[in-house]
Amino acid sequence: MVSQLSEAVLDVIADALVDKGYLCLSEVFPAELTDALRRCLLEEELRPAAIGRGAEQQLNRDIRRDKIRWLETHYEPDSHYLDLMEQLKQGLNRRLFLGLFDYESHYALYEPGAFYRKHVDALKGSQNRILTTVYFMNPDWQPGQGGELLIYDETQQLLETVAPTHGKLVIFLSERFPHEVLPTKVRRASIAGWFRVAGSRHGF
């Protein structure tokens, strides 16, 4: 299951990040990979997601109720996904000189009733997380089932309501865009990930 991100797709992503700081793309990755990632998520054990960083991490079900598992290279679908993210990193570094250095990501499973309140992925100026990615794996999602990703601007105005449909990739600048996951009425699967620069602090 080898796949390459085309130069044309990398150009589209880079242009959108320069123009408005975020974008949504569909069918960027092979359908068989998306299906395999979903199976891998549903077959492995997950744990409740925490908030905060380092020793200050804590569970808070008033803020988020998803369950997660970090991607690991010994799982074949995980390895293929991480390889595509490496291609994305290299392509954006060539085009935008972002200095992206490494990438971490986890599966996120939202059972019915789960949500994630509005938050940002990096503190302003921290350069802890530079670029956020979200990949959706929900083949049967329909309008009205909830679980949409809401993206806001820096003045808290709603910019985009993103349906969590199968094979959709969302990318945005981590410091600039508050976002939230609306309560879902059905099981909702995704992969959340973050690119960092060299020397940035882990654990946020």
pLDDT digits (tens, 9 = 90+) for 162-196: 999 999 999 999 999 999 999 999 999 999 999 99
Contact 181, 149 (CB under 8 A): yes
How many CB atoms within 10 Å of residue 185? 13
- Residue 58's pLDDT is 79
Q: In CATH, what number does 7-52+59-197 get?
A: 2.60.120.620
Q: Are strands 22-26 and 116-119 parallel, antiparallel or unpaired?
A: unpaired
- Residue 204's pLDDT is 34
pLDDT above 70 (res 121): yes
Question: Residue 64 — φ and ψ, nearest 5°?
Answer: -150, 150
The H-or-E segment that residue 59 falls in is none
Give tens-digit pLDDT for 44-71. Answer: 899 998 876 655 567 888 899 999 999 9
pLDDT above 90 (res 7): yes
How many CB atoms within 10 Å of residue 29? 18
pTM of the shown model: 0.93
Kindly list the distances between the CA atom of residue 109 and the CA atoms of 45, 62, 114, 192, 202, in Å, as whole numbers in the listed order: 11, 17, 9, 10, 23
